[in-house]
C-alpha cells in the first residue's frame, strides 16, 4: 500500500504551517518575556537602589549587589539571544549553532558570576571552568571555521 504524492505534500504543507505557527507564537512569547524581564529589572533597580546602597558596608555586600545586578542583565541578554535564534529559525529554517553556543556561554557566565567563591565546592568550580573553556573553544573554532570558508 503506497501513499499518494498529493496526500504526502498536503501533510508536509500542514506540518510546515504548524511549524510556522509554533515559531511565531514562541517569538511572541519570548518578546513578551524579555519585555517583562526588562521592565521588572528596571523596576527593581529604581525601587531598591536606595535600600541596597545603604546596606552596602563591606566589599562582600558590594559584590553581592553587583552579582545580582549583573545576573539580571545577563538574563535579559539570554532572552534576546533566544529570540535571535527563533528569528533566524523562522527566516532560514535552521538553528545557528553560534547563537546556541552564545546562549550557553552567557548562561554559564551568569551562573559563575552568582557563585559565592569562598563557600563553593572546588569540584563544582573546576567543572564550571571546564564547561566555560569548552564552550569558548567551541565558539572560537566555529567562528574560525566560518571565517576560513568565506
Q: Please tell me which of 94-98, 115-119, 141-145 the model is most confident about, judged by mean pLDDT.
A: 141-145
pLDDT tens column, 30-43: 999 999 999 999 99
Q: Count of residues for the chain?
A: 150
Note the pLDDT tens digit of each residue in 128-150: 999 999 999 999 999 888 777 76
Number of domains in the chain: 1
CA distance 31 to 35: 6
- CA nearest neighbour of 38 among 72, 65, 68, 15: 72
Q: Which three cell numbers stand for residue 147?
A: 571565517
Separation CA 75–CA 113 (nearest Å): 12
**Vertex 16, ends 14 and 18: CA angle to 5°?**
70
Cα–Cα distance list, 116 to 29, 63, 95, 125 (Å) = 33, 9, 34, 10
Q: Model's pTM, two decimal places?
A: 0.67
Q: To 10 degrees, what angle do helices 5-55 and 59-92 make?
A: 160
Q: Which domain holds residue 48?
A: 5-149
Which pLDDT tens digit goes with each residue over 40-86? 999 988 888 777 777 778 877 787 778 788 888 888 988 888 888 88
Amino acid at each position: 500500500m503506497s501513499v499518494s504524492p498529493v496526500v504526502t505534500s498536503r501533510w508536509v504543507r500542514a506540518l510546515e504551517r504548524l511549524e510556522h505557527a509554533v515559531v511565531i507564537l514562541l517569538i511572541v512569547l519570548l518578546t513578551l518575556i524579555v519585555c517583562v524581564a526588562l521592565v521588572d529589572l528596571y523596576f527593581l533597580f529604581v525601587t531598591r537602589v536606595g535600600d541596597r546602597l545603604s546596606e552596602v558596608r563591606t566589599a562582600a555586600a558590594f559584590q553581592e549587589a553587583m552579582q545580582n545586578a549583573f545576573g539580571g542583565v545577563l538574563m535579559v541578554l539570554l532572552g534576546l539571544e533566544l529570540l535571535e535564534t527563533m528569528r533566524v529559525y523562522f527566516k532560514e529554517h535552521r538553528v545557528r549553532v553560534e547563537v546556541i553556543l552564545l546562549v550557553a556561554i552567557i548562561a554559564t557566565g551568569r551562573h559563575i558570576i552568582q557563585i559565592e567563591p569562598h563557600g563553593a565546592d572546588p569540584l563544582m568550580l573546576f567543572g564550571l571552568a571546564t564547561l566555560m573553556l569548552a564552550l569558548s573553544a567551541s565558539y572560537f573554532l566555529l567562528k574560525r571555521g566560518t571565517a576560513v570558508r568565506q
